[in-house]
Amino acid sequence: EGAAPAWTPLLHSAPPRGFLSARDGPRYRHRHRDPELSPCSPASCCQLAAVTTLLLPKSRQAAEAEIKHTTEPAPPPRAPALVQMKVKVLSRNPDDYVRETKLDIQRVPRNYDPSLHPFEVSREYTRALNATKLERVFAKPFLASLDGHRDGVNCMAKHCKSLSTLLSAACDGEVKVWDLTKHECVRTLQAHEGFVRGMVVRFCGTSFFTVGDDKTIKQWKMQAPAYGEEEEPLNTILGKTVFTGLDHHQKEAVFATCGQQVDIWDEQRSSPIRSFTWGVDSFSSVRFNPVETELLASCASDRSVVLYDMRESTPLRKVIMKMRSNTVCWNPMEAYYFTSANEDYNLYTYDMRYLTSPVTVHMDHVSAVLDVDYSPTGTEFVSASFDKTIRIFPKSAGHSREVYHTKRMQHVICIKWSADNRYILSGSDEMNIRLWKANAAEKLGVLSPREKQATHYSQKLKEKFQHHPQIRRIARHRHLPKNIYHQTKELKIMKEARRRK
Amino acid sequence: MNCTETNYSTQSYLSCFLCIYIGKTDPFPGPAPVPVDRVQKFKRKDKIEKPHFKQYKLNDLIVHSEEASELAQKQAARFDLLLPEDAGFLEGDEGEDTCTVSQQDIAEAVDITSATKYFNLKLPQFGPYRVDYSKNGRHLLLGGRRGHVACIDWQSKQLMCEINVMESVNDVKWLHSEAMYAVAQKKWLYIYDSNGIELHCIRKFNDVLRMQFLPYHFLLATASATGFLQYLDVSVGKEVTAICTKTGRLDVMCQNPHNAIIHLGHPNGTVTLWSPNQKEALVKMLCHQGGVRSVAVDKTGTYMVTSGMDKKMKVYDVRSFRPLKSYFLPAGASCLSLSQRGLLSAATADIVQVYRDVWSTPVTKPYMAHRAQGAVWGLHFCPFEDVLGVGHGQGFSSMLIPGAGEPNFDGLDANPFRSTKQRQEWEVKALLEKVQPELISLDPTELGYVDRATLEQRHQDRVQALGFDPLAKEKFVPKFKKKGRSTAGAVERRKKKVAHEDQRDVIRKTVEEKVKMEQAKKAMEKKTAARADQKSALDRFKK
């Protein structure tokens, strides 16, 4: 080994620690008594490893030491203290606590000992308060307005297969297909003369049905006609009376309409396979149950909601309310619950099995409720009202958790909750369709894991401290248009007065 | 090669399958058990009692929250096993006292980096010195009586700044980070940054003698010679409250780190507890027969140690305000300081003594002792290090006290190794979650309980305003049903049924008693008769 003479002078004078490099590291650390005897080959390095650790500057593992002054003959500078002791002092190796390179993330050692974290409750409370305030700061629910209709939007339909497609129909008989991601209309067709009363997309997503004031049911292809082709319905059924509502079965080629009576149609036939009537009144809407697919509910103008089983020849049950219901919507997760939007400003959630009294009465609107739609998770629903607002209710709460309104939005006629549970679509009188966030303060787009964790944490904190008066006040605060604000107050006074009597 | 690989994989699969088939079970099924005492450490409060009547939603809520908290406790206890550092210690041989071990011996025995933590600064010109360590224990602030102020990164021994304020200095204190510190000077309170630049001169705070910084509230509490206890919000620079304590010169002060209550010691032997929300003292305790010289409260807010002119050192339980231990020190202690792990240092003139377990066992000998070069004026344990800083007349000395500091710090709270970026991030977060001074109270968890008192008060107010109790249960009034039952005859009959009910009761009772008496009488007669019938052996002697 040619390097042998080169390292000999290093033996007795160790350089500072920072000088070390991996290659020459082990060499100078060995303190050989006679360097001539042991040229430092890699093999000898290994043999001497034990010695090496002892001579290194002592780090954590060497912090414990024993002193035996009694046996040591070496001359101490002071009088030898005749003490035998064991001592360990805290000595942290910075390498364990500081990142190695700038490319690493910082090390954050944790210790969850409660005594190191005083004021837990008050600090969490402060965090919850901040989170609540930030939620109100970031609550910007309005996303976009889709304009293009030339008359009030009368009904809308969600596409069953494509999240980004929305169909809307106006009071002048025009149907528009929208691309929601681009906020633009991709197709327009003149479906009926007069109002389009109902519209539904077939479960396969390839075609959709419309009913109109011209007493026809039309089936349309979802695909736009090729260049040069004319826009023509696949099928047209001419009915005897005006149809006011339409819904399609979840799995089978069967759909239901309502008008003078509730009709069940086979797609292949031009006459209804079954007709239901109960009394002489007309019906305003009909909905299939999404879980128990053979069940239907409809609202009649004699203030009742009627339930049907498609397989039977007569209606099942009926519940009569004080005022007329405009629409019903089934809970998509709990098959026996449905909610009806009533003219008396309230929504009523019923259990299908116990129709004697509603499970919950949802109050807050100050005018007739026109439409209602459940979120796909079945935990909340959204309602559209004649008072120009949209409200979101938890399914079992008596009051709304959220109210949306704009200066320009007029009476909201139809409402839909998107199938991905994140958006709400509203169609209103002044020919616009509006896109809202279902959760007003939600950040859109892809969230980083840390962002996700932070939102979950703040959500939990808000939940934990929700009953503290300060936090509740901030969380509940909503700006309302002046007339709605005053009307709410007035209604409250009226209700109080009625209760006192 | 390929073939063997496949063989191997099938084999392992087979063996796995066999294992399952034979029924070989996991010798350690389920999660590893966690010792109960470790879980106990993370327990916040007792289990909630379930409501007696059927409240399904509430029951569910309680069950879920209990489960969650139990899980959190267990996980924290598991994590506790992984903590990297162990606390320091010093043990003598049997029969040996650790107090005879000198600092020199310890410094020689321990590793080099620890040995460098034992050092002396000779500053005889401007002494005596007050001492303060920053919250993470990295930075040291020295304030000399005659105007010398210096801050040092004491582990690397780098001087950050050194100034002479050309005025007497009463006390020095780090604010929330090492960027700023407060100096109580002869007249006003000043705030400097770590370069020694004067940032503020606060003229609302005069003649300040002692200061305490409440890190989670960003409050600087000052006690002045004029008897005022003032709170300065350092995040916005506003005075929160000024309380006139009416007890004269305030030169003994400490904070309870558990609930941010300020303890003041007075010349008449009392210790008073203060919060910024009340103009009166929360508690007044008579602790000593002479004046109080020094007060210290431990990290958990359980124990308070006081020393007085009567040469006594006493330990109190500050939760119940009860004395626990009383010690007699021949010369009395002028300064007291408690470490994170509960070591108590007491200075008498130029001797610093450190005691262990002063509250649990009666202590006879100090754990460690050291003689400083001059009379001690400031004592402070360094957080997260086994170091005690002693400011005295001849300068400053840093002592090694094994077992004083908390071995494992929390990186998100106080990180001695934090970088500038981490400090900045921490600062923003800490400011965001600054606890409002209104939340300071004797029990810091008060916010987590239901406020029944206010609820009752509000209900009473409502009752007063309305003139009746809207929540009161109405007294049951039976319905007056008319189904032929209210005819005159029926009413008369019913009346007869219940008429003179009380008299009837009396009569019934007396009759019953009479019957009983008679029965008893009869029984007695029977007995005597029976006895009369029997002839005893002695009857033959009867005449």
- How much is the pLDDT for B95? 72
Q: Where are the alpha helices (DSSP H) in B348-450?
A: 420-432
Q: Which residues contact B359 (CB under 8 A, 6 or more apart)?
A: B302, B303, B315, B324, B325, B342
Quote the minimal CA–CA distance from B136 to chain A in Å: 12
CA-atom Rg of chain B in angstroms: 38
Per the CB < 8 Å rule, is B410 touching A112?
yes
- How much is the pLDDT for A24? 37
**Neighbouring C-beta atoms of residue B170, cutoff 10 Å:** 23
Model confidence pLDDT, tens digit, residues B143-174: 999 999 999 999 999 999 999 999 999 999 99
Helices B420-432 and A120-138, packing angle to 10 deg = 90
- How much is the pLDDT for A83? 53
Do B388 and B401 contact (CB within 8 A), yes or no?
yes
Distance between CA atoms of residues A28 and A74, nearest Å: 26
Strands of the B312-317 sheet, one edge to the other: B292-297, B303-308, B312-317, B322-328
Backbone angles phi, psi at B223, to 5 degrees: -120, 130
Distance between CA atoms of residues A395 and A410, nearest Å: 26
Contacts of A55 in chain B (CB under 8 A): none
The CATH-assigned architecture of domain B98-439 is 7 Propeller (2.130)
Q: Give the E-state strand segments of A191-303 in sequence order.
A: 196-201, 207-212, 216-221, 235-238, 245-248, 254-258, 262-266, 274-276, 283-288, 295-300
Q: How many residues would you count in chain A?
A: 501
- How much is the pLDDT for B481? 67
Please tell me whether the peptide bond between B128 and the residue prior to it is cis, using omega within 30 degrees of 0.
yes
| Mean pLDDT for the stretch of residues B180-208 | 95
Distance between CA atoms of residues B188 and B182, nearest Å: 11
**Neighbouring C-beta atoms of residue B457, cutoff 10 Å:** 11
- How much is the pLDDT for A290? 95
Strands of the A235-238 sheet, one edge to the other: A196-201, A207-212, A216-221, A235-238
Distance between CA atoms of residues A428 and B371, nearest Å: 86
Tokens linked to A83: 């003490």
Distance between CA atoms of residues B142 and B338, nearest Å: 19
Distance between CA atoms of residues A26 and B168, nearest Å: 56
Distance between CA atoms of residues B491 and B489, nearest Å: 5
The DSSP symbol for A501 reads: -
**pLDDT tens track of chain A, all 501 residues?**
333 333 333 333 333 333 333 333 333 333 333 334 333 333 333 333 333 233 333 333 333 333 333 333 333 344 444 456 889 999 999 999 999 999 999 999 999 999 999 999 999 999 999 999 999 999 999 999 999 999 999 999 999 999 999 999 999 999 999 999 999 999 999 999 999 999 999 999 999 999 999 999 999 999 999 988 888 999 999 999 999 999 999 999 999 999 999 999 999 999 999 999 988 789 999 999 999 999 999 999 999 999 999 999 999 999 999 999 999 999 999 999 999 999 999 999 999 999 999 999 999 999 999 999 999 999 999 999 999 999 999 999 999 999 999 999 999 999 999 999 999 999 999 999 999 999 999 999 999 999 999 999 999 999 999 999 999 999 999 999 999 999 999 999 999 888 877
Distance between CA atoms of residues A312 and A290, nearest Å: 18
Tokens linked to A429: 């009188």
Distance between CA atoms of residues B535 and A6, nearest Å: 137
Q: Which residues contact B55 (CB under 8 A, 6 or more apart)?
A: none
Tokens linked to A433: 């369709």
- How much is the pLDDT for B521? 95
Q: What is the ipTM of this complex?
A: 0.81
Distance between CA atoms of residues B413 and B427, nearest Å: 10
Strand, coil or helix: what is B458? helix
- How much is the pLDDT for B331? 86
Q: Which of A88, A112, A123 sits opposite B216 (nearest CB)?
A: A123
Contacts of A127 in chain B (CB under 8 A): 432-433
Distance between CA atoms of residues B264 and B294, nearest Å: 9
**Neighbouring C-beta atoms of residue B383, cutoff 10 Å:** 21
Per the CB < 8 Å rule, is A85 touching B410?
no
**Neighbouring C-beta atoms of residue A303, cutoff 10 Å:** 17
- Quick one: pLDDT band at residue B1, thresholds 50, 70, 90? very low
For A89, which residue in chain B has the nearest alpha carbon? Answer: B88
H or E element: which one contains B270? strand B270-274
Mean residue pLDDT of chain B comes to: 89
Residue by residue, DSSP assigns B279-340 as SS-SEEEE--SS-EEEEEE-TTS-EEEEEETTSEEEEEETTTTEEEEEEE-TT--SEEEE-T
Q: Which of A106, A111, A127 sits opposite B419 (nearest CB)?
A: A106
Distance between CA atoms of residues B114 and A91, nearest Å: 6
Q: Which residues contact B352 (CB under 8 A, 6 or more apart)?
A: B345, B346, B369, B370, B371, B372, B376, B379, B388, B390, B399
SS in 3 state form for B100-155? Answer: HCCHHHHHHHCCHHHHCCCEEEECCCCCCEEEEECCCCCEEEEEECCCEEEEEECC
- How much is the pLDDT for B282? 96
Model confidence pLDDT, tens digit, residues B412-432: 999 999 999 999 999 999 999
H or E element: which one contains A426? strand A423-428
Interface probe with A: pick from B114, B259, B382, B412, most Cβ of A within 10 Å? B114
Per the CB < 8 Å rule, is B411 touching A118?
no
Report the DSSP beta bridge partners of residue B325. Answer: B315
Q: Which residues contact B348 (CB under 8 A, 6 or more apart)?
A: B329, B330, B331, B332, B333, B334
| Burial zone of B172 (CB within 10 Å; 0-12 exposed, 13-18 middle, 19+ buried) | buried
H or E element: which one contains A346? none
Distance between CA atoms of residues B204 and B189, nearest Å: 8
User: Does the beta carbon of A133 lie under 8 angstroms from any beta carbon of chain B?
Assistant: no
Task: Give yes or no for residue B69 having a pLDDT over 80.
Answer: yes
**Neighbouring C-beta atoms of residue B416, cutoff 10 Å:** 20
Contacts of A92 in chain B (CB under 8 A): 85, 416-417
Per the CB < 8 Å rule, is B114 touching A83?
no
Of the candidates B125, B118, B121, B167, which has an alpha carbon nearest to the alpha carbon of residue B141?
A: B121
Backbone angles phi, psi at B496, to 5 degrees: -60, -40
| Mean pLDDT for the stretch of residues B491-502 | 83
Of B70 and A500, the structure prediction assigns the larger pLDDT to: B70
- How much is the pLDDT for B491? 83
Contacts of A397 in chain B (CB under 8 A): none
Per the CB < 8 Å rule, is B436 touching A130?
no
**A25-39, B297-311, B322-336: segment of lowest average pLDDT:** A25-39
Quote the minimal CA–CA distance from A85 to chain B in Å: 4
Q: What is the pTM of this model?
A: 0.80
In a domain, A9, yes or no: yes
Distance between CA atoms of residues B209 and B229, nearest Å: 10
For B426, which residue in chain A has the nearest alpha carbon? Answer: A108
Contacts of A117 in chain B (CB under 8 A): 410, 413
| Mean pLDDT for the stretch of residues B317-342 | 93
Distance between CA atoms of residues B504 and B532, nearest Å: 42
Q: What percent of chain B has pLDDT over 70?
A: 95
- Quick one: pLDDT band at residue B21, thresholds 50, 70, 90? low
Per the CB < 8 Å rule, is B216 touching A118?
yes
Distance between CA atoms of residues A143 and B244, nearest Å: 57
Per the CB < 8 Å rule, is B79 touching A91?
no
Interface probe with A: pick from B113, B261, B385, B445, most Cβ of A within 10 Å? B113
CA-atom Rg of chain A in angstroms: 38
Per the CB < 8 Å rule, is A58 touching B112?
yes
Contacts of A468 in chain B (CB under 8 A): 447
Domain that holds residue A6: 1-63
Distance between CA atoms of residues A463 and B345, nearest Å: 45
Per the CB < 8 Å rule, is A118 touching B385?
no
- How much is the pLDDT for B486? 73
Of the candidates B307, B373, B379, which has an alpha carbon nearest to the alpha carbon of residue B338?
A: B379
Q: Which of B109, B405, B410 sits opposite A90 (nearest CB)?
A: B405
- How much is the pLDDT for A79? 44
Number of domains forming the structure of chain A: 1
Type of residue at A266: D
Contacts of B85 in chain A (CB under 8 A): 90, 92
Which residues between 36 and 55 in chain A have a beta carbon less than 8 angstroms from any beta carbon of chain B? none
Q: Where are the domains of chain B?
A: 40-82, 98-439
In a domain, A159, yes or no: no
Strands B198-206, B208-214: pairing kind:
unpaired
- Quick one: pLDDT band at residue B20, thresholds 50, 70, 90? low
- How much is the pLDDT for B490? 83
What is the sign, positive or negative, of the torsion defined by CA atoms of B352, B357, B359, B363? negative
